[in-house]
Amino acid sequence: MAGAASPLTPDAIVRLEDGRLVLLDQTLLPGERREKSYDDWPEMVEAIRAMVVRGAPAIGVAAAYGTAVAARGGRDHFHEACDGLAAARPTAVNLAWAIQRMRDAAAEASDEQLVPHLEQAARELHRQEVARCVAIGDHGAGLLDSGARVLTHCNAGALATGGYGTALGVIRSAHGHDPSLQVWVDETRPLLQGARLTAWELAQDGIDATLLADSMAGWVMAQGQVDAVVVGADRIARNGDTANKIGTYALSVLAAAHQVPFYVAAPTSTIDPSAADGSAIPIEHRDPGELAGASAAEGVAVYNPAFDVTPAANITAIVTELGVHRPPFRFA
């Protein structure tokens, strides 16, 4: 389905329409704006794995809608969809969190009311995730000084959350008070979520952004050109250890070495109360071809973890919709 040139509202990123899940295809951005729609869960699993929709809260929202679509095939089919979608990607806990909420909603509904009840529950979950991002933005904006030069990694924007964004929510909110704010955008190897998606979102909002290769971050910090790092999260353990896009850990080490504050912005749906620390967080390893592409020497072995874990000791503060949390972190 060809996409219309609609603004980047929550519904333009992920929505339910006529009993189908509709996704803005993030693999094609920024070159092409096209939607894809899905009416059964196995193809939704493939879409999540292929990163048609990506970012921790956004895959949770998409899966919530996906289970509501699957419920049209009956209660057993709904539960199969819950199991299948929960296994689509391992690191972001928002996926399991959203699906558990849908299971809870299903348990409250009669068979006759199952589909409308789940559709309503998924829409409400989406609305609440976006509202959490707006609150995160407002809490986090206060951490940035006037004229701050902020470095971010990957895409923790509207595309990654189903609307507004977490790290980009903080940046958006701060920019609303202080248009002189500037953003360094890590390109984010190997899938270039920074170069493709974050740079695109910031351009749409008229926020001053400069792209840099991941390997340049240390040098711009050494030159005193970064006032804060703000990133999103895929899973936060009880002690504050935080999984996020590969490269985040290295950034946190660089930030500590240069006395640059390092902030994590995420909704409470990203906190995993079952993980005592980062060692309990599963790390997704992706297709070697994503890294090797066409340019690597043929046959070379490839190591391609999609995420890493930043120890709580390297994090200055974690911003959730509840406020700014400082160390020592003790999440329930």
Min dist. Cβ of residue 198 to ligand MRU (A): 9
Q: Which is nearer to ligand MRU, 214 or 234 (CB)?
A: 234
Tell me which of 62, 85, 233, 318 binds ligand MRU, using CB under 6 A: 233
Alpha-carbon distance of 63 to 66, in angstroms, equals 5
Q: How near is the Cβ of 71 to ligand MRU at its closest, in Å?
A: 26
Q: Is 126 in the site for ligand MRU (CB under 6 A)?
A: no
Q: Does 54 bind ligand MRU (CB under 6 A)?
A: yes
**Whose CA is closest to 253, among 194, 308, 177, 198?**
308
Task: By CB under 6 A, tell whether 101 contacts ligand MRU.
Answer: no
Question: Residue 8 interacts with ligand MRU (CB under 6 A)?
Answer: no
Residue 234 in the binding site for ligand MRU (CB under 6 A): yes
Helix axes 94-108, 114-141, angle to 10 degrees: 140
Query: Do residues 162 and 58 lie in contact, with contact meaning Cβ atoms separated by under 8 Å?
Result: yes
**55 is an interface residue for ligand MRU by CB under 6 A:** yes
Say whether residue 161 binds ligand MRU (CB under 6 A). yes
C-beta of 158: minimal distance to ligand MRU in Å? 9
Nearest distance from C-beta of residue 91 to ligand MRU, angstroms:
8
Choice between 175 and 245, CB closer to ligand MRU: 245
Q: Which stretch binds ligand MRU (CB under 6 A): 30-38, 158-166, 220-228, 291-299?
A: 158-166
Nearer to ligand MRU, 234 or 321 (CB): 234
Rounded to a whole number of angstroms, the minimum distance from the CB of residue 112 to ligand MRU is 37
- With CB under 6 A as the contact rule, the residue among 95, 121, 135, 160 that binds ligand MRU is 160
Instruction: Please identify every residue annotated as catalytic.
Output: 234
Residue 61: which of 135, 111, 7, 131 has the closest Cα? 131
Q: In this chain, which residue has its C-beta nearest to ligand MRU? A: 232
Footprint of ligand MRU on 177-206 (CB under 6 A): 193
- Decide if residue 162 touches ligand MRU (CB under 6 A): no
Q: Which one of the spans 37-45, 139-147, 153-161, 254-262 is the region binding ligand MRU (CB under 6 A)?
A: 153-161
**Residue 56 within binding range of ligand MRU, rule CB under 6 A:** yes
Helix (H), strand (E), coil (C) string for the chain: CECCCCCCCHHHHEEEECCEEEEECCCCCCCCCEEEEECCHHHHHHHHHCCCCCCHHHHHHHHHHHHHHHHHHCHHHHHHHHHHHHCCCCCCCHHHHHHHHHHHHHHHCCCCCHHHHHHHHHHHHHHHHHHHHHHHHHHHHCCCCCCCEEEECCCCEHHHHCCCECHHHHHHHHHHHCCCCEEEEECCCCCCHHHHHHHHHHHHCCCEEEEECHHHHHHHHHCCCCCEEEECCCEECCCCCEEEECCHHHHHHHHHHCCCCEEEECCHHHECCCCCCHHHCCCCECCHHHHHCCCCCCCCCCCCECEEEECHHHCCEEEECCEEECCCCCCC
Q: Which of these segments, 53-61, 70-78, 121-129, 317-325, binds ligand MRU (CB under 6 A)?
A: 53-61
Residue number with CB closer to ligand MRU (12 or 233): 233
Total of chain residues touching ligand MRU, rule CB under 6 A: 17
* Chain positions contacting ligand MRU, by CB under 6 A: 54-57, 92, 154, 156, 160-161, 166, 193, 232-234, 244-245, 306
